[in-house]
Amino acid sequence: MPEVRDLAALVSSRLCHDLVSPLGAIGNGVELMRMMQLDSPELDLIEQAAKAAQARVQLFRLAFGVAQDGQEVRAAELTQALDGIAIQGRITLRSAFTAPVPRLLAKRLTLAALCADSALPYGGEIVVEPGGVVATSPRLTLDAALWDPLGQGEIPAELSAKSVHFGLLVTLGPVEIERDETQVTLRL
């Protein structure tokens, strides 16, 4: 019988899978309208929204979906999913994966990148490498109720839909956190 955590990951995978097709259809529709030379500010908005939604779904599929031993994620797929964090433009994201990554590591890295993103409400840079994630900004916001338990290997007591990635990351293995006024590092 699957664990509750596995059921939640299966639900996440299913939702992401079911959203990919309609979002792709919207993107294709916008492309067809552009071919018919029907440019407008409204069409630009639809195109931007569709691209942002597709990027976030891809990110969420890796972060919240099923990850089993032996599965791998192509480097390009991981990089493209991580770009979903930077799609709005306030975050610069850098990653340099060239080889396939174990699926469980990809899940941990995307969850860690989401944690890092939450520390950058005013923008900044996130660097994702196989060993972890570094977030840099002149104005970091580190909520002690989330970051302290994460560094201690505990699930934060007060989780919400907005912060669930903190709880999930800690269940997948230890996280070492280093922080100062302008940078936070999550080592996996």
The predicted structure's pLDDT at residue 109 = 97
The predicted structure's pLDDT at residue 1 = 45
Q: Which amino acid is at 67?
A: A
**Domain spanning 71-188, CATH class:** alpha beta
pTM as predicted: 0.84
SS3 59: helix
Please provide the average confidence, as pLDDT, over all residues in the chain: 87
Q: Which residue has the tokens 């109720």?
A: 145
Rounded Cα–Cα distance for residues 137 and 132 (Å):
17
How is residue 52 written in tokens? 């942002």
H helix or E strand, kind and range, residue 11? helix 4-35
The residues near 41 (Cβ < 8 Å, ≥ 6 apart) are: none
Buried b (16+ CB within 10 A) or exposed e, 15-42: ebeebeeebeebbeebeeeeeeeeeeee
Weakly modelled stretches of the chain, pLDDT under 50: 1
Q: Which residue has the tokens 């079911």?
A: 18
Rounded Cα–Cα distance for residues 124 and 24 (Å):
29
Q: Are 156 and 118 in contact (CB under 8 A)?
A: no
Rounded Cα–Cα distance for residues 102 and 67 (Å):
9
Q: Where are the domains of the chain?
A: 1-66, 71-188
* Percentage of the chain modeled with pLDDT above 70: 87
* Phi/psi of residue 172, nearest 5 degrees: -100, 5
